[in-house]
Structure 1
Amino acid sequence: MSTIQTPFGFASTAAEVAAGVDLSGRRAVVTGASSGLGVETVRALAATGAEITLAVRDLAAGERTAKEVTAATGNEALHVAQLDLADPASVTAFVAAWQGPLHLLVANAGVMACPEQYTPQGWEMQFATNHLGHFALATGLRPALAADGSARVVVLSSSGHQLSPVIFDDPNFAFRRYDPWLAYGQSKTANVLFAVGATRRWAAEGITANALMPGAIYTNLQRHTGGGGSGTVPPELIKSVAQGAATSVLLAVSPLLAGVGGRYFADCNEAEVLDRRGDRLQGVARYALDTANADRLWDLSEELLAAAR
């Protein structure tokens, strides 16, 4: 299996990656589309002519984003819909309201290193929002994705996945002392494993999923960390929001990714697989691509969601 390399890199922007791509007549959903990377992702996709649903918690913020993007791109086929990924009922309602095929699902929304918090179901908030909500959304929209025939799922992970594998015996910190960064790392590993698992199960239906590290970007995601991450990032490694959205958009629209799934990208290229955490942001831990881990997470996720019904 050859490694995917592209003409793009660290400094590429979402607009550059999407240039020349025509998605007229195709439909996309972007979660967390009203701030940060989500806005830039919507802007780049709108320029391709795609019809986009902005799935957001704050409808007013979503409407402002939609109007701004329409004014900038001329694309009026933007819709705003309510979605709270930490609330299974909200995800169920979003799925129930969807009609017709879906070409692209960008699982962009997320929380980082938040204080200890649990959903009414007892799920740790980062695992619930970053993974379980997107898992429920994607599996619920599977028929719509399959109807497209060549659908893509793009999952935003992070180099933070190297902080922790999924702890299957205690994913919700029922026994472990809560640590916001370990919880974040676990949820980001789950994002990669979901892309692996979804591709294994759905590729025959024309659905592929890939995960990515957007880079170090200062957005609202860092609201619980004082504006930074778990460590000091050198200034030369900080990206603009437009650069940070580039890898997401690449996985969403590039012809180079047609039929490709179950992989992890950084700086617009497939990342090196690591057996030990280093100082670099680009690599992916081998445990995050492990198919046995992906299957175990899939089973766990289905069990947790079934128990919440």
Structure 2
Amino acid sequence: MSRITTPFTRESTADQVIGGVDLTGRRAVVTGGASGIGVETARVLAAAGAEVTLAVRNLTAGEQAAAEITASTGNQSVFVAPIELADRSSVRSFADNWQGPLHILVTNAGVMAEPLNRTPEGWEHQFATNHLGHFGLALGLHPALAAAGNARIVSVSSSAHLRSGVVFDDIHFEHRPYDPWAAYGQSKTANVLFAVEATKRWAPDGITANALMPGGIRTALQRHVDLDADPALKEIFDNYPWKTVEQGASTSVLLAASPLLEGIGGRYFEDNNEALPHAPGIEGVAEHALDPDAATRLWEVSLDLLLS
């Protein structure tokens, strides 16, 4: 497969990458759409004419974000619906309440490097939120995505996937010491593997999925990061080439709506282009994140967990 490149760069904004694209008649769901790059992703899709539903934990914040998007774009079809990704019943309820086709699903919400936290099932919370919740949501919305005839799933990952593959022997840190960054990295690898396997399984239904690294953006995602307690990490943060929210949302929007990605799936993008393989001096994508065998295994393990 040849590498997918576009005219856009890390400096491009979300508005720029779909300039001239008309999404009238298309419907989108953006998880975590009330803040950060999620709300910017939703705003740009709405500005292009899409009906957009913000799937959020905090309904008050979601309603405010939706009102601001409508005010700035003139799009009256911006809606809000509750979801708690770490709660199977909440995810199932969202999917069951959806009616009609769905053209774009942006799995954007997430938690990062939080202290050890477990769901009632005993699942490690970052894996449960960042991967299992979105996996269950995509499964529940599969009929709606298939009904669209030409649907896209956008899986927001991170360069942190380089920190860890999915440790199948101990996904939930039951036997190994808990490391918040390793847990986050594992969940972000899972986001990429999901895109690989979803495309393999669902391309015949007209559904493609791609993953991406949005870049470093100063948002509430970093709320669990204690820089004062880690001088080395503080130095990295102080010198990191941060993006604006408008730049950070661009690759999500590119994958969601650009004609340049028509029919493309199972890949990992950064800075609005398909990433190079990880190598010294190149952040890129790790081999373990695109491993088709690991992708199939993760799908099966995830199904077993959700159905247990």
CA drift at 1:17:
1.0
Partner of 2:189: 189
Match of 1:241 among 245, 255, 262: 245
Residue segments in structure 1 that go unaligned for 5+ positions in a row: none
Distance in 2 between residues matched to 1:169 and 1:246, nearest whole Å: 36
CA drift at 1:226:
3.5
Partner of 2:286: 285
CA drift at 1:237:
1.7
The answer to whether the Cα contact below 8 Å between 2:197 and 2:296 also exists between their aligned partners in 1 is yes
1:254-293 equivalence runs, <5 A: 254-274=258-278, 278-281=280-283, 283-293=284-294
The answer to whether the Cα contact below 8 Å between 2:276 and 2:282 also exists between their aligned partners in 1 is no
CA drift at 1:280:
4.1
Residue identity in the other structure for 1:293: A
The answer to whether the Cα contact below 8 Å between 1:216 and 1:233 also exists between their aligned partners in 2 is no
Distance in 2 between residues matched to 1:156 and 1:82, nearest whole Å: 19
Partner of 1:51: 51
Distance in 1 between residues matched to 2:179 and 2:48, nearest whole Å: 41
The answer to whether the Cα contact below 8 Å between 2:101 and 2:146 also exists between their aligned partners in 1 is yes
The answer to whether the Cα contact below 8 Å between 1:53 and 1:79 also exists between their aligned partners in 2 is yes
Normalising by structure 1, we get a TM-score of 0.96
Partner of 1:71: 71
Distance in 1 between residues matched to 2:29 and 2:205, nearest whole Å: 19
1:214-237 per-residue CA deviation (whole Å, 9 max, x = no partner) reads 001110000001479984146462
Question: Do structure 1's residue 219 and structure 2's residue 253 form an aligned pair?
Answer: no
Give the secondary-structure state (helix, strand or coil) at the position aligned to 1:12.
coil
Distance in 2 between residues matched to 1:235 and 1:46, nearest whole Å: 34
Residue identity in the other structure for 1:74: G
Question: Do structure 1's residue 251 and structure 2's residue 252 form an aligned pair?
Answer: no
1:1-309 equivalence runs, <5 A: 1-226=1-226, 231=233, 232-233=236-237, 235=239, 237-274=241-278, 278-281=280-283, 283-307=284-308
The answer to whether the Cα contact below 8 Å between 1:218 and 1:227 also exists between their aligned partners in 2 is no
Percent identity between the aligned chains? 62
Distance in 2 between residues matched to 1:236 and 1:302, nearest whole Å: 37
Give the secondary-structure state (helix, strand or coil) at the position aligned to 1:284.
coil
Distance in 2 between residues matched to 1:226 and 1:37, nearest whole Å: 22
Residue identity in the other structure for 1:288: A
The answer to whether the Cα contact below 8 Å between 2:23 and 2:48 also exists between their aligned partners in 1 is yes
Residue identity in the other structure for 1:262: G
Residue identity in the other structure for 1:263: R
The answer to whether the Cα contact below 8 Å between 1:151 and 1:206 also exists between their aligned partners in 2 is yes
Residue identity in the other structure for 1:252: A
Residue identity in the other structure for 1:57: R
Distance in 1 between residues matched to 2:249 and 2:59, nearest whole Å: 22
The answer to whether the Cα contact below 8 Å between 1:85 and 1:133 also exists between their aligned partners in 2 is yes
1:261-294 per-residue CA deviation (whole Å, 9 max, x = no partner) reads 00000000000112x5x4544x000110010000
Residue identity in the other structure for 2:94: F
From the superposition, tell whether residues 85 and 265 of structure 1 become closer, same or farther in structure 2 (CA, over 3 Å): same
1:236-276 per-residue CA deviation (whole Å, 9 max, x = no partner) reads 621001100000000001101110000000000000112x5
Residue identity in the other structure for 1:296: R
The answer to whether the Cα contact below 8 Å between 2:9 and 2:273 also exists between their aligned partners in 1 is yes
Distance in 1 between residues matched to 2:248 and 2:3, nearest whole Å: 21
1:125-184 per-residue CA deviation (whole Å, 9 max, x = no partner) reads 000000000000001100100000110000000000000000001100010100000000
Give the secondary-structure state (helix, strand or coil) at the position aligned to 2:139.
helix
Give the secondary-structure state (helix, strand or coil) at the position aligned to 1:184.
helix
